[in-house]
Chain A
């Protein structure tokens, strides 16, 4: 439809653009304990990956390490994100470069409305990227579109960030935030936890709508197959004891569900 858009999407072809995320032999510690022990992973634009694994495999550590949370220390290995050295950037710079983390437990910020929070965040990102700030009117338009799409009332957007939200509402709010910030890569940590079937569908639809695009990518981190019924991954990886021990197509998730981690991670 748009020829220019087609040209922009072209680089999704292998060899024309570096991988969106390339992690090589990553070792990371938390409180001096090594959790990630040589993890490697490549994600290209246009792909959806799922990482599954038992408790304690290092799933959340991977999320936080990639996000740059203090206390999660990279001891060796590299990660490039969209051509940049990921570990060389502060957490907010990673966000501005297009990395979004969907939190398993979204945090409450009393006294700060969702709208204020996201507008400041978005404009901080834009500033880092050398773009003009979005006006109040344009921002509200964008916020309304995204809230409507997730079935969230604008009244909730004016309430303090996640304060008094139910578990499902918080996850929905994460998706609204993702829609507004429009990242290149979303790492979604246990986004399905605490959701009933209806909410799961809404969130799943949100991920597909916002992120299933040739120039974007998603890394889903999950225990269970059930989210994958709504968001079809292109690749599934099994994480165990700090490393990817097996990779495959969507069928691997079903296999895991059937046979359990112990069998496959062994």
Chain B
């Protein structure tokens, strides 16, 4: 604990350093605070074309007129946007000399997740570990190169968004901000102005992406910032499965995260987007922890297009996140599978929006909320059917599981239907892990933590089985670890 505190203190010291006002391109830090100069600085740093800078500035000017959304069931202290750095590359994580300096609690979690030692060093930020780990984990850079060649052979573009803006300006220009408009919401607009980096993926017509894409590969090469921007375009008849996040808890000194993810799906194409989010949730007293305000949306533009969001949310002090589908295409399909765990003082307000504009469009929502400690979990979901969207179907299932008697679970469904042929179903349950279940499992030989993990994983099974295999195994372990000490 003390070691970790020291590391954080050291990192804070670095970020408190007064660089003074400067737009010098050689500078590693943008000046503190947010202004048009900050936006220009970031754009210049990224060697962006003029149109991109204009776009950012437009967003920034609009953001100034906006107000923080207050409708979520979250208690967030006011954020001072002038008291933050918006560009600092590479991230000044304090490098540690060895794993001995890492918080033993974090090491214990790594151990439980079965993360190899070398990889642990990378995650914890131990000096000199990076190169070794890339070798150890991915069997040298050549493997990464092999992957890249394989993707290129298939015509798949998989780049950082900064690279893509320079190398594929037409493609980016065509879709950036088309799914989540610049004026969409406070945090998305902020992201438009100051996004530091992110991922761009394009799957050409008729191509089935030969491997599951993961930001993990790229994150090992460079740190992505707190304002991440992802754009994935699946052209006609293509398919891609994209994995985001990491089960291992990562150090990060940025308290505010405001990412935007845009997915575009054309005729007969499909995107499967899986997330495991485990940012620092704060300590047991609720101090520290990441504020995660994310805007994720998919545009199912083509007929028979399909998007499937699967998320396992266990981290962050505050989660504000509604991965949504705009179902414009005829026969398009939107799916949302979510497990959200809150413990101690964590707060999560998460759910989805299914906007049915296309005829015969269908959506499925399965949300599993697990609350423990003094935490609060809210499912908030909108199902909307436009007047000319005939024969829409939606099925929603929201289940909440409570551990202990000091946490809260809330379900807030919004249903707006303007077409009489729609079939909308909503089911909701709230239950507690019963003493009967716990004792039964323990009497068969499982200890208390194993019993809780088993029962919770059973509760979340429908969602977990949507995840790609290795991800699912890690996520199962993660659920158990997140709830340690929450019973008894």
Interface residues in chain A, defined as those with a beta carbon under 8 Å from any beta carbon in chain B: 67-71, 90-92, 94-96, 100-101, 103, 105-112, 116-118, 120-122, 124-125, 128, 160, 177, 181
Report the bound CA distance from A90 to B438 in whole Å: 13
Measured between beta carbons, the chain B residues less than 8 angstroms from A117 are: 441, 444, 454
What are 9 sample pairs from A and B whose C-beta atoms fall under 8 A apart?
A69-B439, A92-B442, A92-B445, A92-B447, A109-B440, A112-B455, A112-B458, A112-B461, A181-B445
Report the bound CA distance from A100 to B450 in whole Å: 18
Q: Is the CB of B446 within 8 A of A92?
A: yes
| Interchain nearest-CB distance for A157 vs B (Å) | 15
Q: Is the CB of B441 within 8 A of A121?
A: yes
Give B419-462 as 1s and 0s: 1 = Cβ < 8 Å from A's Cβ atoms.
00000000000000011110111111111101100110111111
Query: Given A70-B435, A109-B437, A124-B450 in contact, is the A91-B443 Cβ separation under 8 Å?
Result: yes
Q: Is the CB of A91 within 8 A of B458?
A: no
Report the bound CA distance from A120 to B444 in whole Å: 9
Report the bound CA distance from A91 to B488 in whole Å: 13
| Interchain nearest-CB distance for B339 vs A (Å) | 12
Report the bound CA distance from A250 to B436 in whole Å: 33
Query: Given A110-B459, A120-B454 in contact, is the A95-B443 Cβ separation under 8 Å?
Result: yes
Query: Given A70-B435, A120-B454, A124-B450 in contact, is the A109-B441 Cβ separation under 8 Å?
Result: yes
Query: Dominant SS at the B interface?
Result: helix
Measured between beta carbons, the chain A residues less than 8 angstroms from B434 are: 107
Q: Is the CB of B461 within 8 A of A124?
A: no
Q: Which single member of B444, B448, B458 contacts A121 (CB below 8 Å)?
A: B444
Q: Is the CB of B439 within 8 A of A181?
A: no
Report the bound CA distance from A68 to B447 in whole Å: 13
Q: Which single member of A69, A71, A177 contacts B444 (CB below 8 Å)?
A: A177
Query: Given A70-B439, A106-B440 in contact, is the A112-B450 Cβ separation under 8 Å?
Result: no
Report the bound CA distance from A118 to B441 in whole Å: 9
Measured between beta carbons, the chain A residues less than 8 angstroms from B437 are: 107-109
User: Top 6 closest A-B pairs, CB basis?
Assistant: A111-B458, A112-B458, A121-B444, A111-B461, A125-B445, A107-B440
Measured between beta carbons, the chain B residues less than 8 angstroms from A122 are: 445
Residue of B nearest to A127 (CB): B445
Residue of B nearest to A67 (CB): B443
Report the bound CA distance from A110 to B441 in whole Å: 13
Measured between beta carbons, the chain A residues less than 8 angstroms from B448 are: 90, 92
Measured between beta carbons, the chain B residues less than 8 angstroms from A100 are: 443
Measured between beta carbons, the chain A residues less than 8 angstroms from B458 are: 109-112, 160
Report the bound CA distance from A254 to B444 in whole Å: 33
Q: Which single member of A103, A107, A128 contacts B445 (CB below 8 Å)?
A: A128
| Interchain nearest-CB distance for B404 vs A (Å) | 14
Measured between beta carbons, the chain B residues less than 8 angstroms from A110 are: 458-459
Query: Given A95-B445, A107-B436, A111-B461 in contact, is the A120-B450 Cβ separation under 8 Å?
Result: yes
Q: Is the CB of A120 within 8 A of B446?
A: yes
